[in-house]
Amino acid sequence: MKSVMILVFLFFIASCASTSNMPKNTATNTPQINSASIQPAAQQPPPAQPDSSTTSSDGIVSSTAIMRSIESQKSQTMATRSLGSNSFVGAKKTTGLDLQAIQFEYNSAKITDKGIQQINELAGAIKQYKNDKFEIIGHTDTSGSEEYNLSLSKKRAAAVISELKNKHGINTSRLSSVGKGEDDPIDKNNPSSAENRRVEILYVGN
């Protein structure tokens, strides 16, 4: 009986020793993420906006400042296109240059004298990009009905294109007009602000 107990004890000791010497399995089924395959959202600089050195005292933006913005927009557009099918959901959309000096008579698409001066500067810039196309976008504030503002913004954008064509000889095949009405205000906290009444110039390619 004693010998049997000794054998059982020795067997127990041997089992413990073999278990402690077994290699530990630290592998898990957690999938490994290849950090190289993760691409950050494209970071694009905002389009250059006019500063005080390129804007007159009455708010008219010079052709030099407009050209600077166009170059910035072109860079953004080309960067986005170069992404191709790998473009990111978070990539920034190219935004245009707001020209608030392009003003109109009250409740009208007739351009004011100040607006004509600003369009002269705009034409000078556009003529430097003979093979490029641009979109003229009209915006309004929230005065009046939404339907009326949309219609007015379209008429005002079209009026700018007419001025560029008739006075400056710019081919309208390079220009398109869009009216956004009150849908895209600059001052979202004050939709009726005069700041929201503006014309935006957007580079769209060649």
Nearest to 184 by CA among 61, 90, 98, 123: 98
**Neighbouring residues of 110: CB distance < 8 A, sequence distance ≥ 6:** 104, 159
Mean pLDDT of the chain: 80
What does the alpha-carbon distance between residue 26 and residue 12 come to, in Å, rounded to a whole number?
26
Tokens of 158: 């079209």
**Model pLDDT for residues 164-186, shown as the tens digit of each residue:** 999 999 999 999 999 999 999 99
On whether the CB atoms of residues 89 and 147 are closer than 8 A, the answer is: no
According to the model, what pLDDT value does residue 80 have?
75
Bridge partners (DSSP) listed for residue 111: 104
Q: Give residue limits of the domains in the chain.
A: 45-85+92-205
Query: Given this structure, which CATH class describes domain 45-85+92-205?
Result: alpha beta
Buried b (16+ CB within 10 A) or exposed e, 44-68: beebbebeeebeeeeebbbbebbbb
Residue 120 has pLDDT above 90, yes or no: yes
**Model pLDDT for residues 35-56, shown as the tens digit of each residue:** 444 444 444 445 455 554 467 7
Q: Maximum distance among all alpha carbons in the chain?
A: 120
Residue 132 backbone dihedrals phi, psi, to 5 degrees: -100, 160
Mean pLDDT for the stretch of residues 137-142? 94
Residue type, 109: A
Residue type, 70: I
Residue 101 has pLDDT above 80, yes or no: yes
Tokens of 192: 């009726």
**Model pLDDT for residues 13-35, shown as the tens digit of each residue:** 656 555 455 444 544 454 454 54
pLDDT band of residue 6 (cuts 50, 70, 90) is low
What does the alpha-carbon distance between residue 59 and residue 103 come to, in Å, rounded to a whole number?
11
**Model pLDDT for residues 141-158, shown as the tens digit of each residue:** 999 999 999 999 999 999
Nearest to 140 by CA among 93, 192, 70: 192
On whether the CB atoms of residues 204 and 134 are closer than 8 A, the answer is: yes
Residue 9 has pLDDT above 80, yes or no: no
The percent of residues above 70 in pLDDT, for the chain, comes to 67
Tokens of 70: 């166009």
Bridge partners (DSSP) listed for residue 61: 55
